[in-house]
Structure 1
Amino acid sequence: MRSLYTIGGPLRWELRTQPSKVFKRYKFHGQPSHILSSKSTLLPSKPARTRFAPSPTGYLHLGSLRTALYNYLLAKATGGQFLVRIEDTDQTRIVSDAESKLYEDLKWAGLDWDEGPSIGGDFGPYKQSQRLPTYNQHASQLLDSGRAYRCFCSPAELDAIKAQNIKEGTSIGYNKTCSHIPEDVSTRRAAAGEPHCVRLRCEHEKPAPPFHDMVYGRYKTPFVPEDFILIKRDGYPTYHFANVIDDHLMQITHVIRGAEWLVSTPRHVMLYDAFGWEPPEFAHVGLLVDSNRQKLSKRLHDIGISSYREKGYLPVALLNYVALLGWSPLRTGQKKITETMDLETIISKFHLRFTRGDIRINDKLAFIQNYYLKRILAQPEYPETIQQVSNVILPNLEKAIGEVEKGRSDNPLLGPIIVPARPAEEDSNLVGKDYLRKMFEVDMKSFVDAESHVWRNANLIWEIPEESYVQALDIEMEQNTVDNFWVKHPDAAAPEGGNRPISALQDPDIWDMFDSLGRKPSKVVDLFHATVQEITDEAWTKESLEKKMKPLIMSIYSDREEHGKDRERGRRQVWGWHALRWIMVAGNVGPALIPSMELLGKAETMRRMSVAKRAALRWEQDEMKKFKDNSS
């Protein structure tokens, strides 16, 4: 099997420009083109060079992974190249480990790049902080041509200009104060070391030129751009300037990014025009929002890719999920669209028709995760694939167990870690790795994320307090109105399907099929205890347990009172599975019982039966006391 990391014409409508109306979030005007359905609109005819250009001011999150993925898919679908470029010009906001974490997360996801900081390429360096001479060279080119000028206004002077503009109700943009300084004077002042920035010279009262976006069609801003900064006072380029220079020099043909950058693109187009360059194709994909249509925030939402890794999501599942946030494969004929696709399949189906507008985060990730787990389990080379999955997920399970253990003293439902789960003395983990691997395999098909999986299987890790058994038994007996227990004779035929009305079981011949245990769950525990006692440690396997336990399970019945119109008749049904689940895990939801017993081992199974017996006797004593109190 392949590595888990790589298991193997946009929608556009014509809008009339209406200056009085703007899109709510971005405040832009657009003229999207007609829908084009020919094959040529789905992908470019030539290999595409795309890039993912994150800033190391934070960690890779859901939105940035989607941007990286779409650029990766376009490059691979057309036989092109996918680049990674680090845009680290904002030195004051850089997070020390963000860059290394970025590479780690991309590799974990399976998005390998063809050129970038860690592997080089023909157009490096691929970190903007290492390309300062290139930006200064191009800034000088614009200065020499008169398309740019030096601005010597101090931050205090700029704040004063802004305040005056606000007071007068005019544009808050820069007022071109320094644009009138003669070139020779400007050059002398700069040579003398006077602090300054470099601004693009924009024409008065002339909006930025329109451009075509592959998602939103023809886009034109109604606003007159200010003379925006190209080189900051610290000598570093602005995002806009470095972005355009790098995309041109690295021969980027297509730029796919979030719709929040759509309003900045006119500036980029102006720079391309200033240099006389051909801009790349742009595609701005919808912003990811929550159910309240609020932009996803790293402060309010757990959207960091590392959080998905820690929860145990498979890379192939996360990529599949992210790909569908604003894109879907084309429908062919009447076939239903299949949304579960590995990376190779997504590449083969990829096209440039993205969904317009905000994209709501949905809850499909759990479904997709379960799909891939089941698919992996069905592989012929099962031992190899289960090993691969375990290697990805077990560290996250260990971490989740540690988090639960920290707060266990405050949780009355959890006792100490059970003996069979404890590691060897030389192992520093809370749970032995071999036991943890087997526990995961027992309930692998139910895995969604590490935290929920640990809670689902908590009874296979921690002891269950006796009080939990008593409470669970009380719920079973009282809320489910269980009356008496019966054990069917080994040689007696079962009633139809295990369920028949009591009134139909009054015939003496049928009545003799059962021995009454009364309303005493302790006697049910005794039956299981005696059966388990006969199984040797050597024979403690799933097959042996099923052979010994299933006949007993299917022989234990209970009478349940019915309410309403069925109150007088009641119903007798098999209760053996209920009984065993209560004995083993206090009735809690969890994995299959027989495999759980095999994992726990004979000693832990017998210990739990002893606890269940004490709890049953306590419950019976309480029932007797209630009966006496009601009789007196």
Structure 2
Amino acid sequence: MSASKSGGIQAKLHCSREKRAEQRLLDDLRWAGVEWDEGPIVGGPHGPYKQSERNGIYQQHARELLDSEAAYRCFCTPQTAGQGTAAYVTSGCYQDCASLPLEQAQEKAEKKDPFTVRLKLPPPHEAKKRVYPDLIYGKITPLKRSPTAVAASASAAAAEGGDSGGIDAADTILVKSDGTPTYHFANVVDDHLMDITHVIRGTEWMASTPLHYDLYHAFGWKPPAFAHVGLLVDENKAKLSKRNSDLALDITSMRDELGVLPQTLVNFLTLLGWSNPTRDDVMDLKELIQNFDLKFTKGNTMVRTEKLWYLQKHHVARLCQGVLNGETESHETLLTVAKSLASEVTATYPDFEKSLASEYEARSDEARRVSNTDQNPTIQNHLEVRSKFLGRPFDRLSHPSPRLNLYCYNLLQADSKSYQNATQYVTRNRYFFHFDPTEVPAVPETFGKEKTIPRQDLETLTKKFLTFDFAHLPSSDPSGEARTAFLEGNQPEGRAMPWFEINAIRIHAALDAVVEGDKETKNAMMRFLRLKLAYGLPGPSIGVVMAVLGWRESCRRLGVEVVGGDADAEGGIVRGWEGVAKLVGSGE
């Protein structure tokens, strides 16, 4: 965030045992939206950008410290010391190698005597004057470590595959006996040569910071500003591991298994420990860069996954709004989410795609049957319109399930504020993919608060509503203009309106007409319809639910049989809210 505001982003790879691990790291950064101005692949003026390819640079700077006598060659080998039954390895200089004349040390090195390069500790009187500032914690106090503590630290670092760098009460090792630099030495040299101005890292590196300041002092370089942020811990205040108890924390798992969006993850990670100056926690990368500062809380940060899913819901809702605003990037990202959702639907309800195909075929037959005689051009455009969304053709829906992908894309728009991941969303909205009459709750015999409305009256009104001629909605129908603009491919000024919202308006207008404006009766009908159509579960408005399910499926769930046929209007054909003619009869 800070780099994006100043000199740009540099990427550098530390040593890795696997080429694939390096590529995966770079791929993960790009997936998260992090593009570097210089580094691996893109190149730049400060290369090479892989630590293992910079050894000549480290050797050159080690010689500079040796020549200035800020460092010395140590020819001591590690010793094992016993203390009772315990033993530990001492890595300090026990032969006073710092006092060797430079020429003598050079001669031993030329004879191939193994040696390390150590940084000379500053004299005590000078060390007391040195200050080690930190942007978050103020001043850092150097730690004094006993040999036992050093051995324990080195052992722990080795167990994790890390590099303790020999930080102890003795002079610190900068270059190992095999000629490779310690992390601390390479880090300081690289940061200086790459013009790094700020070093932001976890508090576990605070103990190393005085050493890094001392290295800058030894070279005569101006140090960067240091800022240390708290460690991430779980609810038991234990440091997070790669795979926590309730959440996989590696990017591959979060992306592929949990379906976390890149903007969600970046938003979530940035907020950890950060004192956000705005009132809104939901931000994309551009907004985070704009608002970011280095005001972090002191101490460790507890990671709660509830926040992750809160942000995910809001970012998906933003994508849906972006689609309505005509944003191509939002459309592409939401389509990716829809495909993930479609895969989960297929895994959970394998028969749904087949039933969806049958529904589309039935609608196509109905549209063809009436298109030759009906003078309403919207009927002929109906199926073509449903294969688009706000005029956007779905060119990428051919694999593997175009109809199911489109259905899920529409559903995400219809219920845009509840998506966490595909599994959760399918569970929440299961009535859109599968209907089991045994799950329908018992319907009360009466409804209403201010007056009693018998269930039988609501069933009669429901039948009247389903046989309502939507071609003759009241002239005050607010959906007419929006529907016409949508079918003609025009986007009205302001917020665009998807087809299911237009149909939902028509549905509610028809309900108002059927109940003759009685709000109490309409509310009772809404509750009755939600029980029968959606198990009484929360979700989009009942008008949107019916629009997405479609007229035929709504009739089936409400016990009204779709008979079919070519009868005229007097013979029973009615016009549903989708704009095609259907024949209905009692399902009893």
Q: Same fold (TM over 0.5)?
A: yes
Question: Matches of 2:199 and 2:455 in 1, distance apart?
Answer: 76
Match of 2:299 among 357, 361, 365: 357
In structure 2, the CA distance between the partners of 1:353 and 1:396, relative to structure 1 (3 Å rule), is same
Give the deviation of 1:199 after TM superposition: 3.5
Give the deviation of 1:395 after TM superposition: 2.8
Give the deviation of 1:584 after TM superposition: 2.6
Q: In the alignment, is residue 230 of structure 1 matched against residue 157 of structure 2?
A: no
Match of 1:392 among 333, 336, 340: 333
Question: Matches of 1:202 and 1:116 in 2, distance apart?
Answer: 34
Give the deviation of 1:368 after TM superposition: 4.5
Letter in 2 for 1:72: A
Give the deviation of 1:441 after TM superposition: 1.8
The answer (yes or no) to whether the contact 2:12–2:40 under 8 Å persists in 1 is: yes
Q: In the alignment, is residue 134 of structure 1 matched against residue 105 of structure 2?
A: no
* Gap regions ≥5 residues in structure 2: 146-168, 361-396, 473-486, 488-498, 563-588
The answer (yes or no) to whether the contact 1:418–1:463 under 8 Å persists in 2 is: no
3-state SS, counterpart of residue 445 of structure 2 = strand
Higher relative contact order (CA 8 A, sep 6+): 1
3-state SS, counterpart of residue 221 of structure 1 = coil
In structure 2, the CA distance between the partners of 1:554 and 1:418, relative to structure 1 (3 Å rule), is farther
Question: Matches of 1:189 and 1:404 in 2, distance apart?
Answer: 72
The answer (yes or no) to whether the contact 2:8–2:37 under 8 Å persists in 1 is: yes
Question: Matches of 2:459 and 2:353 in 1, distance apart?
Answer: 23
In structure 2, the CA distance between the partners of 1:432 and 1:371, relative to structure 1 (3 Å rule), is closer
- Counterpart residue number, 2:25: 102
Question: Matches of 1:173 and 1:554 in 2, distance apart?
Answer: 90
The answer (yes or no) to whether the contact 1:313–1:393 under 8 Å persists in 2 is: no
In structure 2, the CA distance between the partners of 1:320 and 1:422, relative to structure 1 (3 Å rule), is same
What is the TM-score when the length of structure 1 is the normalising length? Answer: 0.61
- Counterpart residue number, 1:472: 440
3-state SS, counterpart of residue 298 of structure 1 = coil
C-alpha offsets along residues 246-271 of structure 1, whole Å, 9 cap, x if unaligned?
11112222211111111111221222
C-alpha offsets along residues 191-243 of structure 1, whole Å, 9 cap, x if unaligned?
56565544434469897954111111121224163333323344432211100
- Counterpart residue number, 1:417: 352
Give the deviation of 1:354 after TM superposition: 2.7
3-state SS, counterpart of residue 399 of structure 2 = coil
- Counterpart residue number, 1:586: 535
Letter in 1 for 2:25: L
- Counterpart residue number, 2:250: 304
Computed over aligned residues only, the root mean square deviation of the Cα atoms, in angstroms, reads 4.5
Question: Matches of 2:172 and 2:325 in 1, distance apart?
Answer: 60
In structure 2, the CA distance between the partners of 1:606 and 1:239, relative to structure 1 (3 Å rule), is same
Give the deviation of 1:244 after TM superposition: 0.7
- Pairs aligned (count): 467
Question: Matches of 2:406 and 2:285 in 1, distance apart?
Answer: 31
Match of 1:175 among 89, 92, 107: 92
The answer (yes or no) to whether the contact 2:120–2:171 under 8 Å persists in 1 is: yes
Give the deviation of 1:590 after TM superposition: 3.0
Letter in 2 for 1:238: T
1:290-329 equivalence runs, <5 A: 290-300=234-244, 301-310=247-256, 311=258, 315-328=262-275
What is the TM-score when the length of structure 2 is the normalising length? Answer: 0.65
In structure 2, the CA distance between the partners of 1:210 and 1:222, relative to structure 1 (3 Å rule), is farther
- Counterpart residue number, 1:41: none
Q: In the alignment, is residue 447 of structure 1 matched against residue 394 of structure 2?
A: no
1:28-177 equivalence runs, <5 A: 69=1, 71-72=2-3, 76=5, 79-88=6-15, 91=16, 94-146=17-69, 147-151=71-75, 153=77, 158=78, 161=80, 163-164=81-82, 173-177=90-94
Quick one: percent identity of the two aligned structures?
Answer: 32
The answer (yes or no) to whether the contact 1:524–1:579 under 8 Å persists in 2 is: no
In structure 2, the CA distance between the partners of 1:430 and 1:289, relative to structure 1 (3 Å rule), is farther
Letter in 1 for 2:73: Y
The answer (yes or no) to whether the contact 2:470–2:510 under 8 Å persists in 1 is: no
Letter in 1 for 2:47: G
* Gap regions ≥5 residues in structure 1: 1-68, 331-335, 409-413, 486-497, 503-513, 557-570, 614-632
Q: In the alignment, is residue 272 of structure 1 matched against residue 223 of structure 2?
A: no
Match of 1:211 among 132, 138, 150: 132
Letter in 2 for 1:324: L
C-alpha offsets along residues 100-143 of structure 1, whole Å, 9 cap, x if unaligned?
33333333444333322222222211211111111122223334
3-state SS, counterpart of residue 9 of structure 2 = strand
In structure 2, the CA distance between the partners of 1:174 and 1:611, relative to structure 1 (3 Å rule), is farther
